[in-house]
Structure 1
Amino acid sequence: MKRREFLAGTGALLVQPGHLHAQGKPRRMGFLGLWADDPTRDPIHAAWLSGLREKGWIEGKNLLVEYRYAPDRLPALAAELVGLTPDVLVAPGPLAVQVLKSVTSTIPIVFVAVADPLGLGLVQSLARPGGNITGVATMVPDDFGAKRLEILRELVPSASKIAILINPNNPMHRLNFGEFLARTAQRLGVTLLTVEATAPDELDVGFASAAAQHADAVLDMGDSLTFFQAPRVVALAAKYHLPTSYLFRRCADLGGLIVYGPDFVDLYRRATGYVDKILRGAKPADLPVEQPTKFALVINLKTAKALGLTVPPSLLVRADHVIE
């Protein structure tokens, strides 16, 4: 090959990093989740794949992805993924990342939607994670849960008992469900009830328990169970005529009364940036944990009407989306 042709070809490769990924050996990613949904109906998964494509990573071509899902077999599946020696592991939610942390301290792990990675001991600090773990948190000030409770009470001013729906297997619920909610409830003159669910069938028991205890409303703390079981949760709220506040936008789209929480589509898209940087050679220890920048208040007026609720103008004016 002539020297001029060689230099021209080398220059072309240098300005086309995506070309290098396409022509090189495919990289491998492990994805450990609790529940799976049809990707064609899941805007979060679609945003995840879109974010990877925008950065030059095409699943099945230059990126091989090993998916594993099962809430009752996470340790075994985590060990299985680590045994495949992937270039990066992805953990949606606190339980998945804790399990992966227990089986590897060397393979890079990117978490998504962990409320408080610092409180769980996943990172040394948000600015300098240290170790092999980093990602996108949903961490906000401690009063975030309290704010959700305030908004629900504003919508249902007569509520004197509010049931908090938690998943005791979710380490973030154990960490965050406590003083800040209790203080707000006391200030509002509200009694808090706790109902639990770790599996789909237990959601039915949880809502039945809330109704039996004469709860006036429900605050879903939100985790992968209630995300993937959103149709069931919304249907149960309607069945028991319980005004319910949710964390995920999809719940309002399915008929849920009110949602206040981070934009999870945005969080997952941003998480692909970590995967991209790690596959290009960056170390998780040097990649600061990012926090949510987009939040949404969504109100379903049709559901409010069915529940006999009048949405205060103070809430309507603050809403980012109103479903009529």
Structure 2
Amino acid sequence: MKKKMMAAVLTMAMAVAAMAGCGSNSASNDAATTEKAAADGKVYKVGIVQYVDDASLNQIEKAVEAELDAKAKELGVTFDYKDYTYNGQADSSTLNQIATDLVAEDVDVIIPIATPTAMIMQAATEENQIPVVFSAVSDPVTAGLVESMDKPGSNITGTSDALNTEAVMDLMFAANKDIKKVGLLYNKSQDSSTVPIQDAKDYLDKKGVEYVEKTGTTNDEISLAADALVAAGVDAVFTPTDNTVMTAELAIYEKFVEAGIPHYAGADSFALNGAFCGFGVNYVDLGTATADIVVDILVNGKDPATTAVQTMSNGIATVNTDVASQLGIDYSVFDGMCEKVVEIQTAEEFE
């Protein structure tokens, strides 16, 4: 009996030692864990939360989902996002409820699209530390989402669509060097608009060009603001990556066209919906990069706190050729001023 007991004790001791030996090589352990996850067909629950329906944000969501599907096939895992995808319709109460639901569903990661969504998801995960990987946040530092772009801190990181406002204004004055008055159209409650609007003011002040600010928080208010800019006799209008104006663009662009006023904005989706020119990042690339960060965190164990926020290349001018023709603008002057010029026609969504 004693021999049997001693043998059992020795067997347990050898097992413990073997387990300890495995833990001594963290790099090998991580690699083995990743391979095992792939072999076991592990399922990751991925929450995707969109701020509101608009062409840019829809484009990002589709790109995120397409990349997750591609990576799932490559790695032999499953990213279950279909059961956890929501749209807040620009309503903070709805977004807060979505956050509560995702936490209760114990998702493995949350992907908020746009700044207001990211802020609500961040607040909801402060205690549980569910990783948050945002997309299309123009200024994550000013919004208080991250400590710095290189080292976000806490459980959050993502991708930024920060706008090069000076480049947009350069295009504006290249197309018409005689501009005397510029309209600034935006939602003053959106953090994504704060910095670029100030940058636009600084740019115009240096040029000695007058500007008129009009703001709104709803489609109706944006429509009235557009009417006010037309009445003020502005020569051009600038809007940053502002989701409120984006959702209203299809309803207001004809006002500007009829008045002979080109609308310059911070994303290609504005041009798709009727603005003369959208300048900014490629949102398919942005969504793809966002999904890649998610995969790195879930599958490879990357720490969001030390994963740098990615800022995308920001030099594509998208011109609405229908509107350019009606306004009589020769946009060939844009050649050489940006990464490339893309021609587009008015539509509700990207194909």
- TM-score scaled by length of structure 1: 0.82
The farther-off stretch of 120-129 and 220-229 is 220-229
2:162 matches 1:139? yes
2:267 matches 1:248? yes
Q: Matches of residues 82-231 of structure 1 in structure 2 within 5 Å?
A: 82-105=103-126, 106-139=129-162, 144-178=164-198, 180-231=199-250
Which of 289, 303, 306 aligns to 1:283? It is 303
Q: What is the CA distance between 1:261 and its match in structure 2?
A: 0.9
Q: Which amino acid aligns with 2:144?
A: G
Q: What is the CA distance between 1:269 and its match in structure 2?
A: 0.8
1:272 corresponds in structure 2 to 291
Closer, same or farther in 2 for the Cα pair 1:278/1:317, shift >3 Å?
closer
Q: What is the CA distance between 1:160 and its match in structure 2?
A: 1.1
CA contact (8 A) 2:186 2:245 kept: no
Q: What is the CA distance between 1:267 and its match in structure 2?
A: 0.7
Q: When you count helix as a share of all residues, which structure comes out higher?
A: 2
Aligned residues: 302
Q: Percent identity?
A: 22
Closer, same or farther in 2 for the Cα pair 1:45/1:100, shift >3 Å?
closer
Note the alpha carbon deviations across 1:112-146, whole angstroms, 9 max, x for none. 11122122222122222110110011236xxx212
Note the alpha carbon deviations across 1:289-313, whole angstroms, 9 max, x for none. 11112530233444223113344x5
Unaligned residue ranges in structure 1 (runs of 5+):
1-12
State the superposition RMSD in angstroms.
2.9
Q: What is the CA distance between 1:110 and its match in structure 2?
A: 0.7
2:80 matches 1:63? yes
CA contact (8 A) 1:165 1:195 kept: yes
Closer, same or farther in 2 for the Cα pair 1:17/1:250, shift >3 Å?
same
Closer, same or farther in 2 for the Cα pair 1:89/1:193, shift >3 Å?
same
Q: Which amino acid aligns with 2:49?
A: L
CA contact (8 A) 2:171 2:337 kept: no
Which of 35, 52, 58 aligns to 1:35? It is 52
Distance 1:181 1:14 in 2: 47
2:251 corresponds in structure 1 to 232
- TM-score scaled by length of structure 2: 0.76
CA contact (8 A) 1:30 1:66 kept: yes
2:315 matches 1:295? yes
CA contact (8 A) 2:334 2:341 kept: no
Closer, same or farther in 2 for the Cα pair 1:216/1:265, shift >3 Å?
same
Closer, same or farther in 2 for the Cα pair 1:108/1:146, shift >3 Å?
same
Distance 2:175 2:203 in 1: 16
